[in-house]
């Protein structure tokens, strides 16, 4: 099974521009990638993937470009590499949490391709200019189609009643527990190579700030504790931005990045800044919206703000 290392590493690290944390600097990305490959993929696995280790630095340069990119269509050509990588991650107990994380995100590649098919290049220009990023409204429509016939994740039935009680106790709309489907398909063991973990994919610094312990046991992997922390964080974000779309964008891309874009555009609207956000964030917020409509029959805009 052959796989370009640039695609492999991009897939492993380009999760949500690291949740609840700003984009890391390029050197931090390189170090994280090297550590992840060293700790989780042995030489035989690398050989199976057809990876030339001497070209790692070249691939990492491509990683940096893609990791920080804002162009949604760049995601569309990655599905083949992702589906090749997934069985490799599923082979061992150590990498299965990463497989759970990756599998939850396979549909991003399908949606990116669907969005490209919807786009109409200017026929009179040869070669045609790059397509502008799709609108947030178009993404919401494509995600609704993508999820139309999707069944609930198998693990959802076991966790939903308890998680909704946790969100309600934290004075948050209980419907927002479906963020866990978008983050992990309700798999509490899911883990991203960037460091996010648990059903709600909390980063270590965020978890500690929300009073979760990472040692000796990682409380992010405990469903109810993770849900309580995620609910508190979402409540904080809504308090800061006053809007659920912006709160979810900040949950995914980082608070200061969202705030900076709002100031630059002199707006308080997610749709106005969406095309400048990381590509995954552009996908993430509409996917949450579509998931809420599919699972609860409610629009994100219809959710009440957190209770005081």
Rounded to 5°, angle at Cα 101 from 190 and 34: 100
The DSSP 8-state label assigned to residue 197 in this structure reads: B
| Nearest-10 crossing angle of helices 5-13, 26-40 | 100
What's the whole-model pTM score? 0.85
pLDDT at position 185 is 98
Using DSSP's 3-state secondary structure scheme, residue 191 falls into strand
Residue 251 CA to residue 233 CA, distance in Å, equals 8
pLDDT at position 86 is 80
Which run of H or E residues covers position 106? Answer: helix 106-118
| HEC letters along 26-48 | HHHHHHHHHHHHHHHCCHHHHHH
pLDDT at position 214 is 95
CA dihedral 279, 282, 285, 288 (to 10 degrees): -60
CA distances from 98 to 36, 69, 87, 102, 207 (A): 11, 22, 11, 6, 19
Query: CB under 8 Å to 308, separation ≥6 — which residues?
Result: 171
Buried b (16+ CB within 10 A) or exposed e, 204-227: bebbeebebeeeeebbbbbbebbb
pLDDT at position 68 is 57
pLDDT at position 152 is 97
pLDDT (tens digit per residue) in 32-52:
555 666 666 666 655 665 554
pLDDT at position 53 is 45
pLDDT at position 242 is 96
**CATH number for domain 136-302, candidates 1.10.530.10, 3.20.20.100, 2.40.50.100, 3.40.800.10:** 1.10.530.10
Which residues in the chain land under pLDDT 70?
Answer: 1-68, 121-126, 308
pLDDT at position 171 is 96
pLDDT at position 99 is 85
């Amino acid at each position: 099974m052959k796989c370009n290392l640039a695609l492999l590493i991009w897939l492993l690290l380009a999760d949500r521009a690291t949740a609840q944390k700003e984009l890391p600097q390029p050197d931090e990305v390189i170090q994280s990638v090297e550590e992840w490959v060293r700790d989780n993929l042995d030489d035989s696995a690398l050989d199976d993937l057809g990876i030339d280790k001497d070209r790692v630095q070249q691939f990492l340069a491509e990683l940096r470009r893609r990791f920080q990119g804002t162009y949604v269509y760049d995601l569309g050509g990655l599905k083949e590499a992702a589906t090749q990588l997934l069985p490799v991650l599923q082979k061992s107990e150590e990498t299965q949490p990463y497989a759970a994380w990756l599998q939850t995100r396979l549909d991003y590649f399908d949606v990116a391709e669907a969005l490209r098919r919807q786009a109409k290049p200017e026929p009179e220009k040869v070669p045609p200019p790059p397509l502008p990023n799709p609108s947030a409204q178009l993404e919401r429509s494509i995600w609704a189609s993508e999820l139309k016939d999707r069944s609930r994740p198998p693990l959802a039935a076991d966790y939903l009643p308890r998680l909704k009680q946790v969100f309600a106790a934290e004075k948050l709309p209980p419907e927002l527990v479906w963020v866990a489907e978008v983050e992990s398909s309700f798999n509490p063991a899911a883990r991203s190579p960037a460091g996010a973990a648990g059903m709600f994919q909390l980063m270590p610094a965020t978890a500690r700030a929300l009073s979760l312990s990472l040692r000796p046991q990682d409380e992010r992997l405990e469903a109810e504790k993770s849900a309580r922390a995620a609910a508190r964080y979402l409540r904080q974000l809504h308090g800061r931005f006053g809007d659920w779309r912006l709160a979810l964008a900040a949950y995914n891309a980082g608070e200061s990045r969202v705030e900076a874009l709002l100031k630059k555009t002199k707006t308080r609207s997610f749709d106005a800044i969406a095309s400048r956000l990381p590509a995954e964030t552009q996908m993430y917020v509409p996917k949450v919206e579509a998931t809420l409509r599919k699972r609860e029959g409610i629009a994100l805009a219809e959710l009440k703000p957190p209770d005081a």
